[in-house]
Amino acid sequence: MNISRQLVLLCVSVLVASAAWAHHSFAMFDLEKMVTVEGTVKEFQWTNPHCWLQVMVPDGKGGTQEWSFEMGAMGMLARTGWKSTTLKPNDKVTVIMNPLKSGAPSGRLLKVTLPDGRVMGPGGNAPPPPPAG
């Protein structure tokens, strides 16, 4: 095998490996649970590789707790009707998510009900609901 062919194969191998490394799993989320929280948008981060929604949720003690929700990539969201301006600070939302297994205030967004009543997804296909029973 000549040196230029070896170099091409090496470059392809590095690219494939880096793409696999960059993609992460959803193993940290409890995909068997769906939790609903209501709160006020603090920030909607229209960024790659994943968009994020920060929501201030009442803590039941008179205060609030910041929750972080991971969503799909900008392109995935845009294909399903999202825009960078879909959510603004102080918007009231209801979020359905798969919580973190650790119990920290974060999760994988499955659906969000916007102030105008529209229901939007995470930008990709949500996992199937957990089995009944």
Tell me the domain boundaries of the chain: 35-120
Nearest to 72 by CA among 93, 60, 86: 86
Whole-number pLDDT of residue 129: 55
CATH, domain 35-120, list 1.10.287.3510, 1.20.1740.10, 2.70.180.20, 2.40.50.140 = 2.40.50.140
CB atoms within 10 A of CB 82: 22
Residue 111 gets which letter from DSSP?
E
Cβ distance 95 to 89 under 8 Å? no
pTM score of the predicted model: 0.74
For the chain, residues with pLDDT lower than 50 are 7-23, 126-127
The predicted structure's pLDDT at residue 20 = 40
Determine the pLDDT at residue 9: 47
Contact between 107 and 92 under an 8 Å Cβ cutoff? The reply is no
The candidate with the shortest Cα–Cα distance to 106, out of 61, 47, 52, is 52
Helical H runs in 23-125? 74-79
Q: Of 32, 102, 36, 104, nearest to 68 (Cα)? A: 104
Rounded-to-integer distance, Cα 69 and Cα 38, Å: 13
